[in-house]
Amino acid sequence: MALFVFFFAIPTLQALQYAVTDWDGYSADFNDVGADNFTRVLTGDSLFRNALINNLKFLLVVVLLQTLMSLVLALALLRNTRVSVLLRALYFFPTILSSVSVAFIWKFVYDPSFGLANGVLGGLAAVPRLFGLNVADPAVNYLGNDAVAIYWVALAQCWAHIGQMMVVFVAGLQQVPKEFYEAAAIDGAGALSRFRHITVPQIVPSLTIVVAYTTIQSFKAFDLILGMSGIPPKQSLDILSTRIYTSYANSQYGYAAAESLVFMLLIALITVLQRRGLAALGREGRG
């Protein structure tokens, strides 16, 4: 309880105190602006709205892709064979890298001039040219295309954490009693039916951890975004954490505090909705 008060309650109340002022972070004098900062955040700030939309896109891609891919890997590598253990270690390796290192690696991969991604596309395009077919240069400026740049950064985020989530699923899958599958097989249940009615309900706790952790990491992708976009990030890659950072950097401490509180409430709301949805999924599967 003391830790909750010291690390959460007191900072939150302090942020609320600043959020109703125009404090610049340095001056001893500041004015009380009431709810103006919150009104601006919720209705009048196009930059905050853009960052919110980008963050929701990022969140959707990361949660869906990372959860599905890590679950597929966990199912494929569930047996404790030497090959499975080795592959688990390889998939887990990116997790130990810092976000800055991940950003550096993927910025190189996406480089439009000499990046690995365009190198692969160029190699594929060379095949039809061997047969005399005229194929246009397939080079893509991944991070330069504002319409899809956030999705390519989301892919880097998935690569960095998929191994960690795979381990969570492996641990959950190993706890499912084999007798359940044997009984279902005797009753004539197919693989899809066993997965839906046995596997999914039994791994709901693991699924809850994965979805919650992935959601939090999606909102905390501050260093990955800055590493791949620069400071300040361009609008197509601006997310809520970088938008709040920019407000602080511009000495808008009162407004940044209001943004932070709205950000915190948004995360809490999404987490509650996810937990209810996963709980309903577990009940449906058991039914």
Q: In the predicted model, what is the mean pLDDT of residues 229-250?
A: 90
Q: In the predicted model, what is the mean pLDDT of residues 269-275?
A: 85
Per-residue confidence band for 133, with pLDDT thresholds at 50, 70 and 90:
very low
> What's the confidence (pLDDT) of residue 24?
83
Per-residue confidence band for 142, with pLDDT thresholds at 50, 70 and 90:
confident
> What's the confidence (pLDDT) of residue 128?
56
What's the predicted TM-score (pTM) here? Answer: 0.86
Full DSSP string of 212-259: HHHHHHHHTTHHHHHHHH-SSPPGGG--HHHHHHHHHHTT-HHHHHHH
- Pick 120 or 201 by higher pLDDT: 201
Per-residue confidence band for 230, with pLDDT thresholds at 50, 70 and 90:
confident
> What's the confidence (pLDDT) of residue 102?
95
> What's the confidence (pLDDT) of residue 112?
83
Q: In the predicted model, what is the mean pLDDT of residues 195-220?
A: 89
Domain 14-285 is found in CATH 2.20.25.90: no
Mean pLDDT of the chain: 86
pLDDT at 173 over 80: yes
Per-residue confidence band for 191, with pLDDT thresholds at 50, 70 and 90:
confident
What is the residue type of 7? F
Q: In the predicted model, what is the mean pLDDT of residues 118-137?
A: 60
Per-residue confidence band for 135, with pLDDT thresholds at 50, 70 and 90:
very low
- Pick 207 or 125 by higher pLDDT: 207
How far, in Å, CA of 40 to CA of 211, rounded?
31
pLDDT at 232 over 70: yes
- Please state the separation of Cα 111 from the chain's center in Å: 22
> What's the confidence (pLDDT) of residue 239?
94
How far, in Å, CA of 27 to CA of 5, rounded?
28
Q: Domain spans of the chain?
A: 14-285
Task: Say what angle helices 46-76 and 240-249 make with each other, to 10 degrees.
Answer: 140
* Alpha carbon separation from 10 to 2, 14, 17, 32, 262 (Å, rounded): 11, 6, 11, 20, 17
Per-residue confidence band for 4, with pLDDT thresholds at 50, 70 and 90:
confident
